[in-house]
Structures are given as C-alpha cells and as structure tokens.
Amino acid sequence: MLDLPHPTPDAPTADCFALAKALSGVHFIGGRYVPARSGKTFAVVNPATGAEVARAAEGDSADVDAAVLNAAEAQKAWAKVPARKRGALVHACAAAIRTHVDELGRLIALETGKALRTESRVEANVVADVFEFFGGLGSELKGESVPFAPNVLSVTVREPLGVVGAIIPWNVPMLLMALKVAPALVAGNSVVVKSAEEAPLAVLRICEIMNRILPPGVFNMVSGFGPECGAPLVAHPKVRKVTFTGSVETGKIVAKAAAEKLVPVTLELGGKSPMIVFADCDFEKTVSGALTSMRFTRQGQSCTAASRIYVERPIFDRFVAEMKKAVDAMVMGDPLDEKTDIGTIVSEGQLEKVRAYIAEGTATPGATAHVCSAMPTDPALKKGLFIQPVIFTGLDNSSRLVREEIFGPVTVIQPFDDPETVLAQANDSEYGLAASLWTNNLKVGLDLAHRLEAGLVQINQNLVVQANLSYGGVKSSGLGKEASLEAMLEHFTHKKTIMVNMA
C-alpha cells in the first residue's frame, strides 16, 4: 500500500485553513493516510467564500477494497479484545476528541458553513459525548441463560457482525459518523466509513485522532462520490452490515444492494417533523423552542427540523409575529465568527433546491413569505451561500413545502382548531422521524404523543439527538435505531445460542 508521510499536527490547532490543506488528498486506511489509488482528488469548498480549501481523495472500488480488506483483517484480533477493554479504548478516544473540540468545530464550520458557536463546536462536543457513552457500554454485551432442560446448559452470546460499512451525509457528519462508529467498535466490529463529498475533512481528522489509540485497521475512512465509492462499499462481500444516513432515494438503493447480499441494514432517512403548538403553551418558551426546533442556526439542514408548525388559532398571528421577530434578531455571517448565529447553506446545489421551494411557495396564491434576518454585508462573504430564512403562512398540507423535506431555513406555519384535526394533519406525511408538542395540558399532550406517527416525540422541548435515547424513524424515515444501548445490541451484534448437553 502507498504510504505517504502526512503533515497533520498531533496537537490541536486553531488554524483550520492550514489543517484543511494538511488533510488534503488522502483516505485513512490500515492506520495510515493514503492517497486514492487512481491519484484523483476533488475540491472541498468553503461555502462562506466559495474558495477551495482542500482537495479530498476521490475514492473508487480499489480504495474501498483496500479499506475493507484491512478492516476484515484487523477485526479478527479486535473481536478477541475483551469487551470492556474495547470500551475503555473508545472512551480514551472520546477524551482525545475532547481536547480537539475547538479545532474540529472550526474545521466543520469551514467545510459545511455551519456557525462555529451555535452549531459546529456544539457538534464536536456531542461527538465526544457519544464516544464516551458507548465506551461505557462494553460490559452490556451480555447474553442470557435459557431454561431449556435441567441437564442442558443453554446460553446466548452476543457476537460482532464483522466489517461495518457506514455511509454518512454532510449536515452533521461528525455526529452521524460517531453514532455508527462508536457502537460498532465497542461491539467488536471494524468499520469503513464513506464520508460525504461536501464534508470529508473533520471526520478524517477524528479518524486520525482515534487511530492514535485504536489498533490499525479497526477504523478506516474513505472519501468519494456515492455511486463510485459508496456503492462498492455497500456491495463489498466482506462488509457484513451497512449503516446509512441520507436521503430516502439513496436509502432505498442502499437497502436493495444490502438485500442482494442478505446483510442487515440500518437506515436513517429524511423527516418532515411537525411542531404542534397549543394556545395554553408557555408562549415565550415555545417561540424560542420553535427557533431551536427549526434548527435555524443550521440553516434548517436537519432531518428533525420543525419544517411544518401547527399553531392553535387564538395565538396564531401573535406566534407568527413573535417568531419572525426572534429570527430577525439572529445574526447571519461568517461561520467562523463567534458573533454569528446562522452560517451558510452547504453547497450551491442545495441552495438552488431551497430557492426553488421558496419561489414555489411565494408564487402560491394566498401564501405569504415572511423573509427574516439580514444578509451579511461583509464583502469577503459576497460569494457565500447565504440565504434568508423564510416563514410561510397561507400554505396547507397539499403544498410541496409542507410535504417534502426542504433541508433549508424554510418553515410553514398553519393554524388549527382542534386536537383531532391537527393530529390527522401531522400524521398526513410520508415521513415519521420526530415531532414536538407544546402545551401545559399534559393529558392532551400525552394522548397525542401516543398517536403521533414518529420515532421520537418531545413535549415542551425539541432537543437534537442525545446519547442514550433511541433515535430512528418510522414510515419513509428509516429502519432501525441509533444512539442507544439497544442500537448497539440490536444493530451491531448477532445473538448466538450455545447448548451443552451434560446428561
């Protein structure tokens, strides 16, 4: 295998531009930085300026094959490391990541355009938290004894699946990678991650940091495009589990390819999460909850964004006005500036998609587009992929803006008159990832929580994914759970039954 010395610093650095350059042109395979076998690279662009900040290795099936073969070899020894020891090593990785939180925050802000203070540094901290959580779960990889017959000892044991292929998107790449890698490793699997083409750098740096602690080959990372690099990973015969986060369309392609090999697959796909606001809610808290729920600080690029909000009619006008005022007060600007609340959209393609939805909503008869906040004025940002958040009123459930995942700072607020009607509207969706209810009547709230078709329902809060809470959707939002003990046991191990006849 090619083996280049690589100029990344061991110590955390605040210079994300230099670090991006140092991370250029390589995968991480078998404990080493290696370029793509083809020698090809592609541009990593800072969406706040349009400038190229790095080149990423453009992986294809040859690179994937090298990564999977390394992972398969390393997994044999890794599976024999006692589970608690594996957990301790993953825990040590969490501690190492913590020392790099600021650096990783800067790097992810640079490649995704997410604001450092409100989003990117927060993500880096949650990543450390996720590795810490799973690192403590080694001793939970337990089996059971089964009462089969008095003279037959019958037990189950949890065994790793082998090599896990993990495919991640660009919106929260470090966290979504961690939700896959941490449980997979603690359970005794090895991993090959295919990073998202828009955001390959911060995950690569985490892979390097963790490889200072883990045995080589246990955690590998390749970058590249979906069909050329992701598809061969899913199809590779030695990949025995596939875990994917991304769009519904690609999720179906991945599930079909995994089905060809009959390997299990976890899918975390899109969402169109309803937020239901009753007139008896704590008004101020709910308005500020709507800002967090809609993930405006991430320009709405979240599968749990509250992109359809239903507000009980008596407080509808006041709610829309106060929410607009609150979004107006958010500062859009350079993602690396600590004063910035809202950064950019990740890519030009994504920006065009969002603009098309806004144009369609604006052109719909009866609709009003409440355009919020202000574009940055700094000339250095004039090529940045900024867009003003838009709150729509006057659209209903028949609109594409209410039915489809926009992945942008666009939400639609509709009035409602009674719980049954709003429940039907909320459930009238292809998706079922998350939902939130805002009311002081917990009897009504709990009743609706039980009847909402969603994997996660929160009342009077709408937090992002948290370690220890099962996360995953129903309907087109996906298959399987992440982030919890159950996720590790059910999705990264299989249960073997062993029987000993002692008669």
In the DSSP assignment, the letter for residue 150 is T
58, 123, 268, 312: the catalytic one is 268
User: Which residues sit at the interface with ligand ADP, rule CB under 6 A?
Assistant: 167-169, 194, 196-197, 225-227, 230-231, 234, 246-247, 250, 253-254
Whose CA is closest to 219, among 196, 190, 254? 190
448 and 423 Cβ atoms separated by less than 8 Å: yes
CA dihedral over 95, 466, 295, 355, signed as positive or negative = positive
- CB pairs under 8 A, 24+ apart, for 143-149? 143/495, 146/497, 148/499
* b/e burial code for range 49-65 (CB count within 10 A of at least 16 → b): beeebbbbbbbbbebbe
Query: Rounded CA gap, 179 and 92, in Å?
Result: 16
Across 35-148, where does the E strand assignment appear? Answer: 41-45, 52-57
303, 372, 453, 482: the catalytic one is 303
What is the closest distance, in whole angstroms, from the C-beta atom of residue 250 to ligand ADP in the complex? 3
What is the closest distance, in whole angstroms, from the C-beta atom of residue 4 to ligand ADP in the complex? 24
For ligand ADP, the nearest residue by Cβ is: 226
What is the closest distance, in whole angstroms, from the C-beta atom of residue 194 to ligand ADP in the complex? 6
281 is catalytic: no
490 and 480 Cβ atoms separated by less than 8 Å: yes
303 is catalytic: yes
Tell me phi and psi for residue 336, to 5 degrees.
Answer: -85, -5
The nearer residue to ligand ADP, 231 or 275, going by C-beta atoms, is: 231
The nearer residue to ligand ADP, 243 or 458, going by C-beta atoms, is: 243
Across 260-314, where does the E strand assignment appear? Answer: 265-268, 274-277, 308-312
What is the closest distance, in whole angstroms, from the C-beta atom of residue 290 to ligand ADP in the complex? 24
The nearer residue to ligand ADP, 138 or 226, going by C-beta atoms, is: 226
The nearer residue to ligand ADP, 269 or 311, going by C-beta atoms, is: 269
What is the closest distance, in whole angstroms, from the C-beta atom of residue 171 to ligand ADP in the complex? 7
Beta bridge partners of 368: 393
Enzyme catalytic residues: 268, 303
